[in-house]
Amino acid sequence: MIHENLESGDSVSEYSKHTTAVEWIEMGYLGVISSQQDALNKRGHIIDYGCGPGFFAAYLAEEYKQKITGVDISQEMINHCENEYTNKDLSFYQVGENKLAFAESNSIDGVVSCYVLMQIPSHDEQIAICEEIYRVLKPGAKFTMLTMNPAYTGVQFDFLRNGDAGRVYSAGEKMTTELQTDHGTLELEDVYWPTQYYLNAFSRAGFSHIKCVEHCPAFGDNQDKAQFLIVEGIKVK
pLDDT by residue (tens digit) across 134-165? 999 999 999 999 999 999 999 998 888 999 99
Helical H runs in the chain? 9-19, 29-35, 37-41, 55-64, 75-84, 123-136, 195-205
Widest pairwise Cα distance in the chain: 47
The Cα–Cα gap between 220 and 225 comes to 11
Confidence (pTM): 0.89
The Cα–Cα gap between 92 and 78 comes to 6
- Does 2 have pLDDT greater than 50? no
- pLDDT tens-place string over residues 105-134: 999 999 999 999 999 999 999 999 999 999
Q: How many CB atoms lie within 10 A of CB 138?
A: 16
Section 54-76 average pLDDT? 95
Give φ, ψ of 122 to 5 degrees.
-135, 145
- pLDDT tens-place string over residues 8-45: 445 565 555 545 545 667 788 999 999 999 999 998 99
The CATH topology of domain 9-148+194-234 is Rossmann fold (3.40.50)
Give φ, ψ of 155 to 5 degrees.
-85, 130
Q: Is 145 exposed, middle or buried (0-12, 13-18, 19+ CB in 10 A)?
A: buried
Q: Is 189 exposed, middle or buried (0-12, 13-18, 19+ CB in 10 A)?
A: middle
Rounded to the nearest 5 degrees, what angle is found at the Cα of 5, between the Cα atoms of 184 and 180?
20
* Domain boundaries along the sequence of the chain: 9-148+194-234
- pLDDT tens-place string over residues 181-234: 777 788 889 999 999 999 999 999 999 999 999 987 655 566 788 999 999 999
Q: Higher confidence at residue 7 or residue 25?
A: 25
